[in-house]
Amino acid sequence: MNLRSPWRCALVSLAAVAPAFAAAQRTPTAATLDAPLLQRKVVTRPLSPGERHAYRVDARPGDYVHVQVMQSGMDITATVRGPDGQPMGEFDSPTGALGPEPVRFIAGSAGTHLIEARALQPEGEPGRYTIQLSTLRPATVADRRVASAVGAQQDADRLRANADTRRESLQRYRGAIDLWREVPDPGGEAGALRAMGFAHIRLSEDEHALAIFQELRPKWQTLRDRRSEAYTLLIIGTILRRRGDLKEFLATDQAALPLWREAGDREQEAFTLATLGTTYARIGDKARCERFHGLSLGVARRARSGALQAAMFRSLASARQQLGDSDRALLAHSEALALWQQIGHRRGQANTLLSMAAIHEASGDRDKALALLNRAAALWDEVGATAQATDTRKRIDALRQKLEWL
């Protein structure tokens, strides 16, 4: 999920104010589960952050394999490995922590293929997923068309990930779209078009991206894919906000809310409400800021997710800080910190401590800021986040120098 994801690859609304909530990829050293995957048998399992489950599928050369993974509260990446153990492809649609993750390929050699389901989040609360071997058969002409379209889109995704080849990815996406039309698969076509829109965003070509996402919305409506339609509205809204059209941005994000509710996606509903609250803070509307953040916290509580509640409190703290209310921002940060501690999310704790330290330093309480920074550095060390620990210690050194000058 994220987004890469998400909703990791695109512009997730709260990524800037809730970085601890965003998924981070970590590859575990060994699978925590290894089991055969039998055709038409649905397997449902919990998956915790950092875990990887491996499933074995025996296939012959030229066999078409379709495995369906359905995510429920956990953003999952699926990797296919051939009989030689080498990766054949990675599957990670921008569907977030809910919805399908289809895995489709044609076996190139005989033997056991591994389907690895990996949780993107390194820390946090567990989720669930189902996995099913939907199809295993000698590839038909139609199957080969699907596999060609999947492969073309994955090639384009790899090009998009590299700044040097990002523009080249646009032509590959056009080719993938043509292949999906030949299948035909309107959902696959829409997914490839969405990915091409992300490429334009990464190329800072917002107007091209906006045209693509506006074209996409009626496609998702035809497919009755409410989550993808809502997400498309968020991307459109983000582009509108970046070019300063706040009125249209607010209307677009609010139009996404009933779609998230219809889809049962409380996480994205909460994030959208918080984004609206933060936007009202930017234009100085304190009442609407507090109202929308209060609604976001209500959704997070009903979802019974400590991580989501913590992210909403961090968003509220950031919004209050923008409004110049540092004392109440610290109260919201304290609520977030307690929730991160409760669920054992050390990255969330560290990021919140950094934000609290910045407020104390700005107010002149440098001793308190130093104590918070030291706690954050220790947490970064515990999770092996070397870059973050180094940056935090640079802040500590700079603050100590200021204290020595006093």
Q: At what angle do helices 386-405 and 366-382 cross, to 10 degrees?
A: 160
41 is a domain residue: yes
What is the bridge-based pairing of β-strands 52-59 and 111-119?
antiparallel
232 pLDDT more than 70: yes
Can you tell me the distance from the alpha carbon of 23 to that of 348, in angstroms, rounded to the nearest whole number? 11
3-class DSSP assignment, residue 344: coil
111-118: average pLDDT: 94
131 pLDDT more than 70: yes
Phi and psi, residue 18, nearest 5°:
-135, 60
145 confidence band (pLDDT: 50, 70, 90):
very high
Alpha helices in 162-245 (DSSP H): 166-182, 186-202, 206-223, 226-242
156 is a domain residue: no
25 is a domain residue: no
The pLDDT value given to residue 21: 41
For 210-227, b where at least 16 C-beta lie within 10 A, e where not — what string?
bebbeebbebbeeeebbb
The pLDDT value given to residue 165: 97
The pLDDT value given to residue 342: 95
Q: Other C-beta atoms within 10 Å of 112: how many?
A: 13
Contact 240, 247 (CB under 8 A): no
199 is a domain residue: no
170-221 pLDDT tens trace: 999 999 999 999 999 999 999 999 999 999 999 999 999 999 999 999 999 9
The residue segments making up the domain with residue 103 are 33-138
In the β-sheet with 63-72, what is the strand arrangement from edge to edge?
A: 43-47, 127-138, 63-72, 98-106
CATH of the domain at 74: 2.60.120.380
Identify the sign of the CA torsion 54, 68, 306, 6: positive
Can you tell me the distance from the alpha carbon of 219 to that of 306, in angstroms, rounded to the nearest whole number? 35
In the chain, how many domains are there? 1
Q: Which helix (H) or strand (E) holds 368?
A: helix 366-382
357 confidence band (pLDDT: 50, 70, 90):
very high
381 is a domain residue: no
40 is a domain residue: yes
List Cβ neighbours of 151 (8 Å cut-off, separation of 6 or more): 89
Whose CA is closest to 88, among 74, 102, 104, 73? 104
174 is a domain residue: no
Distances in Å between the Cα of 244 and the Cα atoms of 19, 230, 252 are 24, 21, 14
31 confidence band (pLDDT: 50, 70, 90):
low
What is the bridge-based pairing of β-strands 63-72 and 127-138?
antiparallel
358-386: average pLDDT: 96
106 pLDDT more than 70: yes
Q: Other C-beta atoms within 10 Å of 386: how many?
A: 10
9-24: average pLDDT: 37
Please list the residues that pair with 131 across neighbouring strands: 43, 69
168 is a domain residue: no
Can you tell me the distance from the alpha carbon of 199 to that of 79, in angstroms, rounded to the nearest whole number? 22
The pLDDT value given to residue 18: 36
